[in-house]
Amino acid sequence: MENAFQINRIYRLEGESKVKAFVDVSFAGIIVKGLKVVQGAKGLFLGMPGRQDKDGRWHNTVCPQNPEAYQHLSELVLSAYNE
């Protein structure tokens, strides 16, 4: 897959939160803010931006079109986070 995503900014967080950073990426002239680097039970993973509904449930507001796009974006973001 062509490297269409570009990391614009990584906001690293301090403290004991499971969210370790917020990341902004761009592609095709669009900037997506609010991707999250999260510490899970099996290690770090990429969380998508989301919103909470009135019942307290969370819904992604940005979703990769297919698993390959998610994997590519995840590898790019986690690699940049670990630098």
Residue ranges per structural domain of the chain: 6-82
The pLDDT of residue 4 is: 82
One of 3.20.20.110, 3.30.1120.40, 3.40.50.2300, 3.40.50.10140 is the CATH number of 6-82, namely 3.30.1120.40
- Which of 28, 40, 31 minimizes the C-alpha distance to 2? 28
Q: Tell me: pLDDT of 81 over 90.
A: yes
Indicate the DSSP class of residue 1. Answer: -
**16-25 per-residue burial string, b: 16 or more CB within 10 A, e: under 16:** eeeebbbbbb
The pLDDT of residue 1 is: 45
Q: pTM for the full model? A: 0.85
The pLDDT of residue 3 is: 54
